[in-house]
């Protein structure tokens, strides 16, 4: 088999399929949104989202199995279960916000309500963008795929020579 170029490796070795497998589809994102908004009981998810019970049970199990949510007995009623975000689940917040912002711009063509704001100053959160290591916003045309081994070798060369490591 011939050597793959960086673009081909990006497709073959990309973590996106694994992330999509963990999240599933629309209902998983809707459950995640509800969890970020404070819902935690099966009945709350079911009545708020209007999702069929069997689909909800399946999606909750998938999110728990992938470590995105954890299932715990309810403190005030041990017969009930609550679902809470794990640190892995909390790390999906930027993804959820980016999808919402994309939907506002390209699908709904209008702002969502309610508005997500910074709790400290009450201002709406900024647009989620891809940023360089130094904080600059980057467009698609300013990005390229590089093999990880090549990147790490370049960084190691810079460290050995005392040169600054370029921000990739």
Q: What is the mean pLDDT of residues 41-49?
A: 95
Mean pLDDT over residues 9-13, rounded? 61
| Domains in the chain: boundaries | 6-89
pTM of the model: 0.79
The pair phi, psi for residue 73, each rounded to 5°, is: -70, 140
137 SS3 class: strand
- pLDDT at position 168 is 47
The fold adopted by the segment(s) 6-89 is Arc Repressor Mutant, subunit A (1.10.10)
Distance CA 88, CA 103 (A): 24
Residue predicted with more confidence, 92 or 10: 92
% of the chain residues with pLDDT over 90: 61
| pLDDT above 90 for 28 | yes
Q: Which tops the pLDDT comparison, 143 or 23?
A: 143
């Amino acid at each position: 088999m011939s050597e793959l170029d960086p673009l081909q490796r990006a497709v073959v070795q990309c973590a996106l399929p694994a992330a999509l497998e963990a999240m599933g589809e629309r209902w998983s994102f809707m459950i995640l949104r509800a969890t970020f908004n404070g819902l935690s009981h099966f009945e709350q998810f079911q009545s708020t989202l209007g999702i069929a019970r069997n689909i909800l049970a399946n999606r909750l199990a998938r999110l728990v199995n992938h470590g995105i949510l954890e299932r715990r007995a309810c403190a005030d009623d041990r017969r009930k279960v609550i679902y809470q975000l794990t640190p892995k689940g909390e790390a999906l917040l930027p993804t959820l916000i980016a999808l919402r912002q994309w939907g506002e711009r390209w699908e709904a063509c209008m702002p969502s309500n309610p508005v997500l704001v910074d709790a400290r100053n009450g201002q709406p959160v900024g647009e989620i963008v891809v940023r360089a290591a130094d904080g600059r916003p980057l467009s698609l045309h300013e990005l390229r795929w590089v093999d990880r081994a090549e990147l790490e070798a370049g960084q190691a060369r810079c460290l050995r020579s005392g040169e600054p490591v370029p921000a990739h």
